[in-house]
Amino acid sequence: MIEELIINKILQEKSLGILLKNRISPDLFLTEKDKIEFILKHHRKYGVVPDVTTFLEKFEDFQIVEVTESDEYLIYKLREAYLYKDIVPVLQETSRLVREDSIKAIQFIKEQVSRLLREHQVQVGFGYDIIRNAGDRLVDYKRRVETEGLLGISTGIRQLDELLHGWLAEDLVVIFARTNKGKSWILLFFLAVAWKLGYKVLLYSGEMSNIIVGFRVDTLLANFSNTGLMNGSTSLGRQGEERGVEDYEQYIEELQQKEGFIVVTPKDFGGRKPTVSELCEVWDYYDADILGIDQLSLMADERNGESKTVRYGNITEDLMIASEKRQKPILLLAQANRESEKDKKSKEETPELHQIEYSDAVGQNATRVISMNVIDGVLKLSIKKNRYGVVNRDVLLMWNIDYGIIKPLLDEDELESVEEEYGF
């Protein structure tokens, strides 16, 4: 009954507000999922909730009633009903385990309850005893020792991994720069690294076609000249390096045996900018391990915020929730604002956090923010926000995008000995 009441409320108010504000996905509807999906699909297509007549044409047996209950009550009951479905098998299994070994049973139910609370985002005010649960930290610490601090997907750059611990679950990383600084390239580089490490990758490319993205990835993976590929040149190697059509053919042949780097463009969304929900549908379909978005301004806000600032805030908030829910990282490109272009003093430096275009909420919603600047063949990445570590640290990289060479310049650990070796 509670599901019918929520649907009635949506139809009555002609708004998806109750779902969006409470981060309710259609999966929470156990008996009326088809109806809620119909409403969402209609909203995506026409920008409004269907009216009662349209809805009843599709679901003629549905009971229209007036709803006076508060959102809080309805959402609580919906979540409670969903949790009930999930907790019953846990309790049954616990009951079976208790008969065998009560300690194992307690451990099992403890893990399962934590999982359910996390998955259902149930807001409970029990808190967490950091003293009694100190053991959790020991487990976490040992994991960090084992992985030498790399907890997530490697960035492909050792210094950056040391500062960021890789791309983490629940990570919404905003990478921003002024125009024409090569943001798309650095995103593709990070995604190509993840793919090479065996992770499944999804990229939303708002401007570049699949073919152009593909050529760039070829350049990053195998250092074929991008200019050569784009111009149809038969010479694809560096100076003094013989690489041509046959080498590219051989590379493509080997590459085709693999899979897992999915690119979606506005074409996949009927020629328009996708919303976060639409992108997440694709994300879930492929079950990708990491999502890259090129770029924020080419996404649509499903809440139709009245200004760019509000819309960008809404989109990044939805992305943050999407990442939390899936426990997978998102890398999002954003533009630096016009002020940063005008700011003569900092024109040559990496832009600051407040210089993300329409920035306040974007910076707040991000777990990490990386600013980038390119100075004649050198890429400077500056960590401007890092929820899990140090900030205001820079990493310098060689930046030759024609041959896809993006690598750290002068390894920090060996600086002194290398300086001596070079005779400087």
Partner 1 sequence: MANELCWAKSYCKKYGSSVCHQFCDVYVLLKAIYSQTNIPKKYQYDRQITPSKKDVEAYKQLNAWKEDVVNKVESGENLFIWSTGTGNGKTTWATKIANYFIRKSVFKKEIENLVVYVNVPTFLEQLRASYDQKLPEVDLLKERLLNAKLAILDDIGAEKSSAWVVERLYEIINYRDNEMLSTIYTSNVSIQDLEDRLDKRITSRIKNSTQIELVGQDRRERRR
Q: Which residue number, 148 or 419, has a Cβ lying nearer to partner 1? A: 419
Interaction between residue 268 and partner 1 (CB under 8 A): no
Q: Minimal CA–CA distance to 412: which of 154, 155, 161?
A: 161
At its nearest, how many Å lie between partner 1 and the CB of residue 347?
7
Q: Which stretch binds partner 1 (CB under 8 A): 131-139, 186-194, 244-252, 392-400?
A: 392-400
Q: Which stretch binds partner 1 (CB under 8 A): 103-111, 252-260, 284-292, 414-422?
A: 414-422
Please say whether the beta carbons of 379 and 156 come within 8 A: no
Quick one: which H or E segment has residue 371?
A: strand 368-375
| Token code pair at residue 422 | 């070079």
For residue 176, the cross-strand partners are: 334, 371
Interaction between residue 378 and partner 1 (CB under 8 A): yes
Question: In Å, how far from its chain's centre is CA 194?
Answer: 13
Q: Minimal CA–CA distance to 373: which of 397, 343, 404?
A: 397
Of the candidates 119, 377, 387, 389, which one interacts with partner 1 according to CB under 8 A? 377
Give the C-alpha separation, 336 to 153, whole Å: 26
Q: Which stretch binds partner 1 (CB under 8 A): 104-112, 188-196, 201-209, 375-383?
A: 375-383
Burial class (CB in 10 A: 0-12, 13-18, 19+), 253: exposed
Q: Minimal CA–CA distance to 361: which of 172, 209, 217?
A: 172
Q: Which amino acid does the sequence have at 198?
A: G
Interaction between residue 390 and partner 1 (CB under 8 A): no
Please say whether the beta carbons of 379 and 372 come within 8 A: yes
How many residues make contact with partner 1 (CB under 8 A)? 25
Give the C-alpha separation, 415 to 417, whole Å: 6
Interaction between residue 180 and partner 1 (CB under 8 A): no
| Token code pair at residue 95 | 């009951």
| Token code pair at residue 191 | 């995604």
Interaction between residue 197 and partner 1 (CB under 8 A): no
Q: Which residue number, 223 or 323, has a Cβ lying nearer to partner 1? A: 223
Interaction between residue 106 and partner 1 (CB under 8 A): no
Span 284-343, contacts to partner 1 by CB under 8 A: none
398: number of Cβ within 10 Å: 13
157: number of Cβ within 10 Å: 19
Of the candidates 247, 284, 349, 402, which one interacts with partner 1 according to CB under 8 A? 349
At its nearest, how many Å lie between partner 1 and the CB of residue 350?
9
At its nearest, how many Å lie between partner 1 and the CB of residue 223?
10
Give the contact letters, 227-266, x = binds to partner 1 (CB under 8 A), - = no: -----------xx---------------------------
Interaction between residue 384 and partner 1 (CB under 8 A): no
Q: Which residue number, 99 or 345, has a Cβ lying nearer to partner 1? A: 345
Interaction between residue 380 and partner 1 (CB under 8 A): yes
Burial class (CB in 10 A: 0-12, 13-18, 19+), 397: buried
Q: Which stretch binds partner 1 (CB under 8 A): 12-20, 70-78, 381-389, 394-402?
A: 394-402
For partner 1, the binding residues (CB under 8 A) are: 238-239, 344-345, 347-349, 375-378, 380, 396, 398, 400, 405, 409-410, 415, 418-419, 421-424
